[in-house]
């Protein structure tokens, strides 16, 4: 298994892949960035104590002034992108409030994988002046195709409208 090492010439210079692979990398980069944003949203949600993971609706009078708040409604756990993110158990020794646990404890965290997509997309979209200066892609074509199909299927299921 070797990385893509051929170069393709366009009117702007030399690229590490053909246009079809570039379009796949473009969609993969879009989904990867969305996965990172969703993972950060999950992390913000997870850092809060359960009693603070709520939404409180304001109650207003006839003139629009706030007169109180409705009962708190628990916020659901934010979704994750299964193509690029997964939950893992991590052993920690310090609690959120700074208390040390001698034996440690397991805590959930979200890990985002395939960080090479951003670098491959960057290399594919910037032409080099000569063929020797082209940075080869790290990902294999088969891996890019497989991830593309998974990402496209996940993206079609989402309702980000």
Q: Provide the residue-wise pLDDT of the chain in tens; the chain has 161 residues.
A: 445 458 888 888 898 989 999 999 999 999 999 999 999 999 999 999 999 999 999 999 999 999 999 999 999 999 999 999 999 999 999 988 889 999 999 999 999 999 999 999 998 998 888 888 888 888 898 999 999 999 999 999 987 64
Domain boundaries, the chain: 15-126+137-157
Supply the angle between the helices 19-47 and 116-125 in degrees, to the nearest 10. Answer: 140
- What whole-number distance in Å separates Cα of residue 151 and Cα of residue 139? 15
Sign of CA dihedral 66, 58, 68, 60: positive
Task: Report the alpha-carbon distance of residue 111 to residue 86 in Å, rounded.
Answer: 5
d(CA 77, CA 45): 7
């Amino acid at each position: 298994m070797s990385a893509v090492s051929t170069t393709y010439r366009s009117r702007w210079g030399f690229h590490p892949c053909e246009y079809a692979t570039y379009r796949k990398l473009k969609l993969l980069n879009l989904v990867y960035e969305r996965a990172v944003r969703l993972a950060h949203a999950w992390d913000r949600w997870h850092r809060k104590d359960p009693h603070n993971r709520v939404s409180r609706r304001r109650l207003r009078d006839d003139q629009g002034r706030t007169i109180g708040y409705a009962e708190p409604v628990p916020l659901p756990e934010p979704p994750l992108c299964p193509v690029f993110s997964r939950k893992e158990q991590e052993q920690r020794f310090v609690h959120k409030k700074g208390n040390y646990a001698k034996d440690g404890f397991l805590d959930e965290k979200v890990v985002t994988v395939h960080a090479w997509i951003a670098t491959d997309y960057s290399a594919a979209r910037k032409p080099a002046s000569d063929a020797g200066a082209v940075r080869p892609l790290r990902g294999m074509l088969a891996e890019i195709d497989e991830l593309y199909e998974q990402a496209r299927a996940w993206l079609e299921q989402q309702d980000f409208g």
